[in-house]
Amino acid sequence: MSIDSVFLQRPKQRSPHVLPPVAFPPISKAFGGVPAGVRVGLILAVLTAVVLAGPSCGGPKPRSAAAAPRTPVGVVKAIQMDVPIRAEWVATLEGYVNAQIQPQVSGYLIRQNYQEGSYVHKGDVLFEIDPRPFQAILDQAKGQLAQARAQLYLADVNVKRDTPLVKERAIAQSQLDAETAAQMQAHASIQAAEAAVEQAQLNLGFTSVRSLVDGIAGIATTQMGNLVSPATVLTTVSQLDPIKVYFPISEQEYLQFAFRLSTKNSAGDLLRAGDSRALELILSDGSTYPRKGHVIFTDRQVDPQTGTIRVVAAFPNPGNILRPGQFGRVRALLGVRQGAVLVPQRCVTELQGTYEVAVVSAQNSISVRKVKVGERVGSLWVIAEGLAPGEIVVSDGTSKVRDGMPVMPKVETPQREGNR
């Protein structure tokens, strides 16, 4: 077989990727006079060039690479509804009145007359101090008062006897003057003695330490037999019905409420004492206290360290269920936003003070859009600007999508917590 027939023989089967045969002139004519070895090398070089240039010569092109896979993401539809706008603040409970029970005299504690944690009334004796030293002081004061009265009696007798004698010039006027001065001194001594008796009686009464308010008496901070003084706190009695609830609001919130109050906006009534707006109290276990409260006053200044101002509310507390020191959250209804657009909070991404959502277009591509957010309603977030009702936003996978990226959306159903 000649070399021409070896290179020009048509293959019996051809792969779809093999180029169609190219008509060449007979090898013997094209390379006439060329040695056989050189001829073979030239033929191989020509065939290689033809194969490499095949796609540009009008032959069938290879199939394009497969399209890039679409990223699967969870999506939700932005809903529109009327939602009540509520605000919540961390709250601390305190007694309406917290009276520290301290003795007014010093002495040894000899008796405790109340049960710790029980309800006591105003005037009930809670502790007793040894009264004997104070009884002795009272008896001494009474004796001094009796002496002063006796001196006054003698001074009165002398003045009464010597007054007519002075008129008859039987005695000197100076003697009557001295007796009159002694009479006045006796009157003053009686007043001092009466005051001493009254003070001694008060001190004796102070040996019975009484409650000055109605409320729950706390744990005694001292034991029987201890020497106590007016600086000693024996216990605390708290008036718990109603009970005070303190909650701080930010300076910005205060300014908003104050502005609304000046414009007679109903939302500003939150700061008005005696406002009919009902406040809800959410306890630490997540339950809602069944009775409503109201604001009674706002503190006089903003705390410069926290930037907040304290608001004080009162809640009815029959049965004294709520106790001082408890924590909770105060919730207030500020109004109703009509036709609000809401999406789950996980759909919103915050970046350097700006908020963005990833919107899915009809062609299933991502459009990252800046939005203006409003209040949070449960797990939903009000979108004030930048999003229309019914638009599809990414809810799962927001961190892996980019603007213009093709995605494979999987629709989720948002919880409609706004109408709770």
Split at pLDDT 50, 70, 90, the class of 261 is low
Closest to 274 (Cα-Cα) out of 249, 297, 242: 297
Q: Summarize pLDDT for 277-320 with one digit per residue, the tens.
A: 679 999 999 999 999 998 888 888 999 999 999 999 999 999 88
| CATH number of 74-83+337-419, picked from 2.60.40.1730, 3.90.950.10, 2.40.420.20, 1.10.1280.10 | 2.40.420.20
* Helix, coil or strand: residue 293: strand
356-411 pLDDT, tens digit each: 999 998 888 989 999 999 888 888 889 988 899 989 999 888 888 888 888 888 88
Any idea where the domains of the chain sit in the sequence? 3-57, 74-83+337-419, 87-94+240-336, 99-235
pLDDT at 44: 57
Within 10 angstroms of residue 150's Cβ, the number of other Cβ atoms is 13
Identify the CATH number of the domain defined by range 87-94+240-336.
Answer: 2.40.30.170
pLDDT at site 239: 92
- Is this model's pTM higher than 0.85 or not? no
Model confidence at 336, pLDDT cuts 50, 70, 90, reads confident
Beta strand pairing call for 349-351 and 354-360: antiparallel
Position 247: which residue type? Answer: F
Q: How far is CA 313 from the centre of its chain?
A: 15
Contact predicate 213/97, CB 8 Å: yes
Residues 390 and 394: their CA atoms lie apart, in Å, by 13
Among residues 404, 392, 344, the alpha carbon closest in space to that of 368 is found at 404
Query: What distance in Å separates the CA atoms of residue 112 and residue 114, rounded to the nearest whole number?
Result: 6
Burial call 339-356: b when 16+ CB within 10 Å, e when fewer: ebbbbbeebbeeeeeebb
Q: What is the pLDDT of residues 82-94, one digit of tens each?
A: 888 788 899 999 9
pLDDT over 50 at 42, yes or no: yes
What span, in angstroms and rounded, lies between the C-alpha atoms of 376 and 396? 19
Task: Give the least confident one: 14-23, 115-124, 136-145, 354-363.
Answer: 14-23
What pLDDT score does 36 carry?
55
- Please say whether the structural domain 99-235 has been given the CATH code 3.30.230.10: no
CB-based contact 330:88 (threshold 8 Å): yes
**Does residue 267 register a pLDDT over 70?**
no
Residue 16 has pLDDT above 50, yes or no: no
pLDDT band at 135 (very low <50, low <70, confident <90, very high): very high
